[in-house]
Amino acid sequence: MDEELKRIGDQLLELQEIDTARRKVAEQIDALPQKRIVAALRAKQAEGDQRIKLIEAKIAEVAGSEADLGKDLAAVEARISEEQGHIDEATDHREAAVLSTSLDALAQRKDALENKSLELLQKQQDYENLRTDTEEKIGVLQAREGAEIAAYREQAGALKTELDGLDAQRKAVTDTLPADVLARYDTLVETKGGIVVTRFKKGKCLGCSIVPPTGQRARIEDSDEIEACPQCGRLLVVEQ
């Protein structure tokens, strides 16, 4: 066999080994669990942020109700003061009785408003506690996200360093391969994928196990260039 053809064949096999290793490293990077975990953590944080917006809307709603109730309570207290003044000035006992009845109703109204105010204050405190709890949970998620990102960078960094080394090896091989042979190889990798270079030994393609007819076998073995398997299309490196 022509020594140059043997060199090209060996380089093709070496290139295929390098590319196989590169694919495995790239797959390892893609399969790192941190990417999936970080995505899930960020989704939970988004849910938490949305929950906080809803809680804050409720807090604002309660605050508005408290303001309205405060106005009502102030108005009732003013009425009570006014009615008490009328009672103090009343000279007729029947008039005083009517005013006392009105005053009792106002006092009941005041009690109801004060109770409602206490309920609103408790509701606001509950919402604020819920907001604080949600913010703390988001903080925990953010801390875990930071840890996962750091772990990803560490692991992916080591794998990318390995990938860079393989890229350098690939360049060293491809720089010495004939352009037409490299183009055929790259085209097969793109269209076929997987193993695109195989040995042709004792008249058989070791990729698909076909044994070509005598004429085709002789052409493959005697050719001064890299031939392709007539069945699987892989590039054949003849091994005598």
Domain boundaries, the chain: 32-177, 181-239
pLDDT tens per residue across span 44-81: 999 999 999 999 999 999 999 999 999 999 999 999 99
Q: Candidates 1.10.10.10, 3.20.20.300, 3.20.20.140, 1.10.287.1700; correct CATH number of 32-177?
A: 1.10.287.1700
pLDDT tens per residue across span 72-119: 999 999 999 988 888 888 777 787 788 788 889 999 999 999 999 999
Q: Which structure tokens are listed for 151?
A: 């772990």
Task: Give the Cα separation of 74 and 115 in Å (integer).
Answer: 14
Find, among 85, 110, 109, the residue nearest to 99 by Cα: 85
Q: Please check the confidence at residue 1 and state whether its pLDDT lies above 60.
A: no
Find, among 215, 216, 214, the residue nearest to 229 by Cα: 216
Helix (H, G, I), strand (E, B) or coil at 219: helix
Question: What's the length of the chain?
Answer: 240
With beta carbons less than 8 A apart as the criterion, state whether 207 and 195 touch: yes
Task: Give the Cα separation of 79 and 6 in Å (integer).
Answer: 109
Task: Give the Cα separation of 216 and 213 in Å (integer).
Answer: 5
